[in-house]
Structures are given as C-alpha cells and as structure tokens.
Amino acid sequence: MTEISKKRGFVYLIGAGPGDPGLITVKGRDCIGKADVILYDYLANEHLLTYAAPHAELIYAGKVGGVHNREQWQINELLVEKALEGKVVARLKGGDPFVFGRGGEECETLVASGIPFEIVPGVTAGIGAAAYAGIPLTHRDFTTSVAFVTGHENPGKEASDIDWERLSLGSGTVVFYMGIKNLPLIAQNLMAHGRSAETPVALIRWGTRPEQEVLVGTLADIADKARKAAFKAPAITVVGNVVTLRDKLRWFDNRPLFGKGVLVTRAADQAGEFSRLLAGYGAQVFECPTIRIVPPESFDGLDGAIASLPSFAWLIFTSCNAVSSFFTRLHDRGLDSRAIGPCRICAVGPKTAAALSTYGIIADLVPADYKAEGVIEAFRSLDMNGKRVLFPKADRARDLIPTELQKMGAEIEAPVAYRNVIPEALPSEALQALEERRIRCITFTSSSTAQNLAAMLGENRLLNLLEGVTIASIGPITSRTCRELGLPVDIEPPAYTLEALTGEIVRHFT
C-alpha cells in the first residue's frame, strides 16, 4: 500500500460491500483498522466499525429518517478537512465506491485539494444481492450481457440519459439501482421499447442481509405487486430471463432459520461457535452474554490441590471453562500437563474432552449422558472407595458430584477454579431487538444464563420481553431453572450439545 504521508493525511475510499459484513475485502478491513477517522454511510454495515482502531473517530454520514443528514458537498469538505489535519480517513461506502456511490466526485475533490488516496473496491449491490437471491446475472443459456443502470433518473423526463431502446432490445440482464420509486415507469419504458411484458423481474431489498426480501414478477405485473406488498428501498431490480433460475438456485433466504432473530446468552468468549452454527441455518443471531467468566476470589484451594496432584486418582472436568481455568493456573505456576501424571481424567462430554485435547490430554472417561448425573453413573461401575478425586468447579456449581462420589467412598476435593459473574449490562442491540419483538427464539445453555438474565432484567421485564418468544434450553437442569423462573421451555434436545440444540431449533421452526 502507498506510504502514508502523515502531514497531509490520507483517504481510503472503501467499498463496504452490500450488507453481509463478511463481504468486505481483506484490504478494506485492514484500511478501516488504520484510520483515525471513519466516515460511514447508511448502506455500510455498522458491524464493520468493530474493525476500527479504538481511538478512531466515527462519523455517520448517512440518512436520518430517510433524508441525508449531510449534503454531498459537506461530506467532500469533511474528507478534505480531516485529511488536512493530517489524519488517515476511511470513507466507508455501501457496495462499491465507484458504482452509483458518488465516489468519483469525492475523489475529484481529493485530487483538487492535493490529498493522496486509495480506492478499495467492494462487492456492489447488483452483484451481491443477485448472488444471495440465487440469480446469476449472466448464464450461457439466457444472456451474454448485463447492464447496471440508475433507476433514480425520472424516466418520464423529456430527454432521458438512459438508452431505453438498447436496454430493451435483446436479452441482456438489466440491474436497476435506486429504482423502486420509479418502478412503474421503468417497467413501462422497457415494454414500450420492445422488452416482452412476460420478462421476469426480481426486486431484492436489503440483499445479503438477514432482512433480505425478494419479490418476483414480470414487467407487466411487478409494479402492481410491489405496490400491494408496500415494497420499499433500498432494493435493486433485476430484469431478465435469468431471474427464473432463482427457483432452482435459491440458497440463502430459504434456509430454515432465515431472518429469524435468535438470542444467544452464553459468555462472550463462548458464544462464537453456537452463533456460527445458528447463522449457518440463516438465523439472525444476537449475542447477549449473561455470564462473564472471572478467576476465583482466592486461588488457595486450587493451588493446594495442584501442589498435591500426584495424590489424586481422578480429575473431573464438567465444562470447558473448568479445563481452561485449571490449565491456565497450572501454567501460571510454571507447570504443564505432565504435572497430572498418572491421574485419570473424566470429561463431562465431547466439548470438554476436545478442550482437554488442546492441552495434549485424552480423557479416560466420557459418560454417555453429558451431565453431572451421567458422570456419577459412569463412576458407579468403578471402585471409588478411598480414591482421591479432584473436581475443579465453578463457584456456583451443584454439589451433586461431590456428594454422590463421597457416598461411593471417594475423598473429594472441589476447589473453585472460576466464577460466573453477571455482566454489568446487556448489549443495547440485543435489548432493542427484544423490545421490538424481533427475537423469535432465546437460547439458554446453562442454568446460570437463565438466572443471570432474570437478575439483570428483573422478573416482570423478563416475562414481558420473553412473552411469545420460543425458549430453547440445552438440557433438563437448565429447563428446570427456566420453569422456576416462569419461562415455559419449548425446545430441549435429546443430547446436551450445541449441535443437538441447534438441530432441535431448526426442527421446531421447520
């Protein structure tokens, strides 16, 4: 990349892509991270701002209540002003900056002011939205060309700059941007200049996003259909026989959880995997951590156990957090996995076993039933009399395992290895989605997630916000906690894994 001249500042004109934040380019993401100032648009997904440096100044240059809050000349001036202060400016624009984005004009201003810049292209809405609607813009059996056309121009004006004749003749696909308001006139013009009234048309609103809406019709009826459906901008209009391929190639907006808001209440550092599973089925996932994992108030108990590790016959882990907090402490004390020696290891389920394997350890025992009861059952067939057992646990863990193992004659030590605490606040995005009834399903993956949410919201607000929301719980213990809180459980998988829970949610909504 061009050497950045600190004195004169620098501007990156970046295409943010059509909406799905995964469609930003690698270079675009890097440039966002370098910027001191980010000037972003209405159509650029705000999620991309998470790549910004902590010190970056974020300026919204988009629409407020449907009208632009800054005129184009004001945006141009702001770009120049910030760059002249010596800042690195990222101008983040929806789609591609040079496709109907007025990026050309912004660039001309920079040239006039002698400000160095780079253009980072993006996936333009026409390409992105069509792909996510399952419409190939060209296809050998249908057409060999595609045109991107503004639909913003009033097609009724006396001398149109658009060559309607050429667009209408032949079989070329035509993609209109900003054309929803003018849809009746666009359709009329194409038909008047020779395109068949039967030509298929697709309107794609908020393409590539979980809110994507697609309306299909023909040149003859699409305007009427759009009016009846109150179809609104921002949307592109795809005209051409390729639209029929959607029936076969649709892949994004027909997934079982498409567009459904699902709330994930796990701790922030654990939510990712679950969120990805759900998003894979098209869910609009809102992460709303109700748990924060922190070290114990005192390490005395755990340290004492670590000092006498050779005396234990068994080590039991009932969560990935227990594994990571135990081994982190081991490492902090200058030890590694060898310190466990011949001690045998029990993991409550496959996830915990997988967490152990990252420390080079293969669990000796994984019960068939992935919960505390399953662990106890598994130990019943073993001779536990007089055996020392170490069970590093969470501060609020149930006493079931220690009590039952003691009954079998084992000598158990259960030091607190980590604590689950309640975060200070819920993310405003998740809360807003709940308030606006955009959440269809809430997931609880442990009793604490439900208890903490209740503690954070208060009983009345909890019941009120979750009214009509499908409640998915990972297993019977969590379900019992939910019911005690007054929350009826709708979904509980047969196995206590995230995959099984996701599977049951998909089944519920199919």
Q: Name the minimum Å distance from CB 146 to ligand SAH.
A: 14
Q: What are phi and psi of 168, to 5 degrees?
A: -85, -35
Give the interface segment with ligand SAH, choosing from 199-207, 264-272, 347-355, 382-390 (CB under 6 A).
Answer: 199-207
497, two tokens? 């894994």
**Interface with ligand SAH, residue 43, by CB under 6 A:** yes
Rounded Cα gap, residues 233 and 225, in angstroms: 15
Residue with tokens 């809405």: 125
Rounded Cα gap, residues 450 and 461, in angstroms: 13
Kindly tell me which residue out of 109, 168, 199, 208 binds ligand SAH, with binding defined by CB under 6 A: 208
Question: Measured on CA atoms in the order 261, 266, 271, 274, is the torsion positive or negative?
Answer: negative
Q: Name the minimum Å distance from CB 244 to ligand SAH.
A: 20
Interacting positions 76-95 with ligand SAH (CB under 6 A): 93-95
| Selected catalytic residue, list 27, 30, 34, 63 | 63
**CA angle 22–25–26, rounded 5-degree value:** 100
Kindly tell me which residue out of 121, 200, 210, 234 binds ligand SAH, with binding defined by CB under 6 A: 234
Note if the bond before 234 is cis, omega within 30 degrees: yes
Amino acid letter, residue 206? W
For residue 36, indicate whether it is catalytic: no
Q: Name the minimum Å distance from CB 439 to ligand SAH.
A: 22
For the chain, what percentages of helix, strand and coil (3-state, to nearest 5) are there? 40, 20, 40
- In the complex, residue closest to ligand SAH by CB: 95
For residue 41, indicate whether it is catalytic: yes
Q: Among 310, 313, 305, which residue's Cα sits nearest to residue 386? A: 313
Kindly tell me which residue out of 10, 164, 206, 391 binds ligand SAH, with binding defined by CB under 6 A: 206
Rounded Cα gap, residues 405 and 205, in angstroms: 59
**Interface with ligand SAH, residue 235, by CB under 6 A:** yes
**Interface with ligand SAH, residue 96, by CB under 6 A:** yes
DSSP annotation of 351 reads: H
Q: Name the minimum Å distance from CB 452 to ligand SAH.
A: 36
Amino acid letter, residue 474? I
Give the interface segment with ligand SAH, choosing from 97-105, 241-249, 394-402, 404-412 (CB under 6 A).
Answer: 97-105
Question: Residue 375's Cα: distance from chain center in Å?
Answer: 34
3-state secondary structure of 372: helix
358, two tokens? 């990252």
Give the interface segment with ligand SAH, choosing from 21-29, 107-115, 165-173, 201-209 (CB under 6 A).
Answer: 201-209
**Interface with ligand SAH, residue 207, by CB under 6 A:** yes
Q: Which is nearer to ligand SAH, 103 or 493 (CB)?
A: 103
Q: Which is nearer to ligand SAH, 32 or 302 (CB)?
A: 32
**Interface with ligand SAH, residue 19, by CB under 6 A:** yes
**Interface with ligand SAH, residue 215, by CB under 6 A:** no
Q: Which is nearer to ligand SAH, 92 or 278 (CB)?
A: 92
**Interface with ligand SAH, residue 99, by CB under 6 A:** yes
In the shown chain, the binding pattern of residues 160 to 179 toward ligand SAH, with x for contact by CB under 6 A and - for none, equals: -----------------xx-
Rounded Cα gap, residues 137 and 147, in angstroms: 9
Q: Which is nearer to ligand SAH, 177 or 281 (CB)?
A: 177
Q: Which is nearer to ligand SAH, 45 or 109 (CB)?
A: 45
Question: What is the bridge-based pairing of β-strands 235-239 and 200-205?
Answer: antiparallel
7, two tokens? 């004195």
110, two tokens? 């920079």
Rounded Cα gap, residues 314 and 297, in angstroms: 25
Kindly tell me which residue out of 53, 233, 268, 421 binds ligand SAH, with binding defined by CB under 6 A: 233
Rounded Cα gap, residues 324 and 30, in angstroms: 31
Q: Name the minimum Å distance from CB 100 to ligand SAH.
A: 4
**Interface with ligand SAH, residue 392, by CB under 6 A:** no
- Cβ neighbors of 71 (< 8 A, separation 6 or more) are none
Q: Name the minimum Å distance from CB 46 to ligand SAH.
A: 13
**Interface with ligand SAH, residue 204, by CB under 6 A:** yes
| Selected catalytic residue, list 36, 41, 96, 253 | 41
Number of amino acids touching ligand SAH (CB under 6 A):
24
Compute CA distances 387 → 236, 393, 403, 496, whole Å: 69, 19, 14, 29
Q: Which is nearer to ligand SAH, 216 or 416 (CB)?
A: 216
For residue 1, indicate whether it is catalytic: no
Supply the angle between the helices 300-307 and 320-332 in degrees, to the nearest 10.
Answer: 70
CA dihedral 233, 238, 243, 247 (to 10 degrees): -20
**Interface with ligand SAH, residue 349, by CB under 6 A:** no
Residues forming the active site: 41, 63, 178
Q: Which residues bind ligand SAH (CB under 6 A)?
A: 18-19, 43, 93-96, 99-101, 124-125, 129, 177-178, 204-208, 233-236
